[in-house]
Amino acid sequence: MTQDELKALVGQAALQYVQPGSVVGVGTGSTVNKFIDALATVKDTIRGAVSSSVASTARLQAHGIPVFDAAEVTSIPVYIDGADEIDAAGNMVKGGGAALTREKIVADLAERFICIADESKLVDVMGRFPLPVEVIPMAAAQVARRFQAAYGGDATLRQGVVTDNGNHILDVRGLQITDPLAMETEVNQWPGVVTVGIFARHKARVCLLGTASGVRTITY
**Does pLDDT of 48 surpass 90?**
yes
pLDDT tens per residue across span 74-129: 999 999 999 999 999 999 999 999 999 999 999 999 999 999 999 999 999 999 99
Residue 116 and residue 20 share a domain: yes
Count of structural domains, the chain: 2
What average pLDDT does the chain have?
A: 97
Percent of the chain with pLDDT over 90: 96
Separation between Cα atoms, residue 165 and residue 70, nearest integer Å: 14
Residue 94 and residue 135 share a domain: no
121 is in an annotated binding site: yes
195 is in an annotated binding site: no
CATH code where residue 74 lies: 3.40.50.1360
Per-residue pLDDT band at 3 (split at 50, 70, 90): confident
Residue 108 and residue 42 share a domain: yes
84 is in an annotated binding site: yes
Residue 185 and residue 101 share a domain: no
Residue 24 and residue 102 share a domain: yes
Q: pTM, whole model, 2 decimals?
A: 0.94
pLDDT tens per residue across span 173-186: 999 999 999 999 99
**Does pLDDT of 194 surpass 90?**
yes
Residue 169 and residue 84 share a domain: no
Per-residue pLDDT band at 68 (split at 50, 70, 90): very high
Residue 175 and residue 82 share a domain: no
State the residue range of the domain holding 170: 131-196
Active-site entry in 5, 72, 103, 134: 103
pLDDT of residue 10: 96
185 is in an annotated binding site: no
21 is in an annotated binding site: no
Residue 114 and residue 10 share a domain: yes
Residue 113 and residue 145 share a domain: no
153 is in an annotated binding site: no
Residue 83 and residue 135 share a domain: no
**Does pLDDT of 1 surpass 90?**
no
pLDDT of residue 112: 97
Residue 95 and residue 24 share a domain: yes
CATH code where residue 152 lies: 3.30.70.260
Q: Is 5 a catalytic site residue?
A: no
Residue 28 and residue 110 share a domain: yes
